[in-house]
Structure 1
Amino acid sequence: MATCKSSSRTGLDSWQSRKSLSECLRHSLENKMFTDVTFKVGREQKCVQAHRLIVSIRSGVFEAMFYGPLAEQDEVVIPEVEHDIFEQFLRYLYTDDVTMDGASVMGLLYVSKKYDVKTLEQKCLAYLSSSMTPDNACVILEQAHVFDEQELKEKALSFILENGYGALKSSGVTDLCHECLVKIIQAEELEVDEQAVFEAVVAWSESACRKQNKDVTDENRRQVIGEVIKHVRFPLLDQKYFAKNVVPTNLLTDAEKVKILTHWICPNENVSPFNANKRTGIIRQEKIIIQRLAGLCGFGCSCSSGADHGIMFSVNQNASLQGFQLYGPYDRPTAHYDARAFITDPTTDDVIEGSSVTKSVSVAAGTTTYDVEFPRPLKLSKDKKYNLLVNINGPKSLYGKSDRSTVQDGSFVCSFFNCQKSKHSNKLNRYTDVDEGQIPGLMFLV
Structure 2
Amino acid sequence: MDANNTTDWRDNKGLPECMMYMLQNEIMCDVTLRVGDDRTPIKAHRYMLSSRSAVFHTMFEGSLPEKGDIILPDVDEDTFRDILKYFYSDDITITNNNVKEMLYAADKYMLAAVKGECETVLKQTAQSEHATKALQTAYQYHLSELQKDSLDYIETNTKACLLSEHAVSLSRDCLEIILKSDYLDCTETDICQFILKWGKHQCELAKLESSGGNIREALGSVLFLIRFPNVEMKFFSEAVASSCLLTSDEMVSIYQSHFGVISKAFPSSLRAPVTKRQTYSINRYGQITGPIGTSGNQSLIFFSDKDIWLKGVVIFLPYVAPAGYNYGFQQNQGSINISIRIMNDSNEEKFHENQPTNYGPYNGEIWQMNFSKPVRVHSMRDYIIQMDDIGHQTYCGTNCNESVTDQQSGVTIKFKNSKESGGTDISQGQFAGLSFSV
TM category, shorter: 0.5 to 0.7
Structure 1, residues 79-111: CA drift from partner, whole Å, max 9, x if none? Answer: 221111110010011111111212211111111
- Secondary structure of the residue aligned to 2:245 is coil
> Which residue in 2 is equivalent to 1:153?
147
* Alignment check: 8 A CA contact 1:36 1:74 kept: no
Match of 1:246 among 233, 240, 243: 240
Q: For 1:26 and 1:237, how far apart are their aligned partners in 2?
A: 59
> Which residue in 1 is equivalent to 2:319?
none
| Residue 58 of structure 1, CA deviation | 0.4
CA shift in 2, pair 1:208/1:285, >3 Å: same
Q: For 1:12 and 1:278, how far apart are their aligned partners in 2?
A: 79
> Which residue in 2 is equivalent to 1:103?
97
Tell me whether 1:273 sits opposite 2:265 in the alignment: yes
- Compute the TM-score of the two structures, normalised by the length of structure 1: 0.59
* Alignment check: 8 A CA contact 2:250 2:265 kept: no
Tell me whether 1:34 sits opposite 2:20 in the alignment: no
Q: For 2:217 and 2:36, how far apart are their aligned partners in 1?
A: 35
> Which residue in 2 is equivalent to 1:259?
253
What count of residue pairs does the alignment treat as equivalent?
Answer: 286
State the AA in 1 paired with 2:133.
Answer: V
* Alignment check: 8 A CA contact 2:224 2:265 kept: yes
Match of 1:230 among 224, 242, 248: 224
Structure 1, residues 40-97: CA drift from partner, whole Å, max 9, x if none? Answer: 1122222211110011000011001112232212311212211111100100111111
- Secondary structure of the residue aligned to 2:34 is strand
Match of 2:196 among 194, 202, 212: 202
> Which residue in 2 is equivalent to 1:45?
39
Match of 1:23 among 17, 21, 28: 17
Q: For 1:33 and 1:57, how far apart are their aligned partners in 2?
A: 18
**For structure 2, which runs of at least 5 residues remain unmatched after alignment?**
279-310, 313-352, 357-368, 371-438
CA shift in 2, pair 1:16/1:83, >3 Å: same
Tell me whether 1:173 sits opposite 2:167 in the alignment: yes
Q: For 1:188 and 1:75, how far apart are their aligned partners in 2?
A: 53
Match of 1:93 among 87, 90, 109: 87
- Compute the TM-score of the two structures, normalised by the length of structure 2: 0.60
Identical columns (%): 27
- Secondary structure of the residue aligned to 1:13 is coil
> Which residue in 2 is equivalent to 1:361?
none
Greater mean alpha carbon deviation, residues 81-90 or residues 134-143: 134-143
State the AA in 1 paired with 2:271.
Answer: R
* Alignment check: 8 A CA contact 1:192 1:282 kept: no
> Which residue in 2 is equivalent to 1:125?
119
State the AA in 1 paired with 2:139.
Answer: H
* Alignment check: 8 A CA contact 1:38 1:48 kept: yes
Q: For 2:232 and 2:206, how far apart are their aligned partners in 1?
A: 32
| Residue 133 of structure 1, CA deviation | 5.2
* Alignment check: 8 A CA contact 1:190 1:281 kept: yes
* Alignment check: 8 A CA contact 1:193 1:282 kept: no
Q: Spell out the pairing of 1:357-372 with structure 2 (5 A cutoff).
A: none
Q: Spell out the pairing of 1:384-399 with structure 2 (5 A cutoff).
A: none
State the AA in 2 paired with 1:259.
Answer: S
| Residue 283 of structure 1, CA deviation | 6.9
State the AA in 1 paired with 2:101.
Answer: G
Greater mean alpha carbon deviation, residues 71-80 or residues 44-53: 71-80
* Alignment check: 8 A CA contact 1:35 1:51 kept: yes
CA shift in 2, pair 1:69/1:11, >3 Å: farther
> Which residue in 2 is equivalent to 1:78?
72
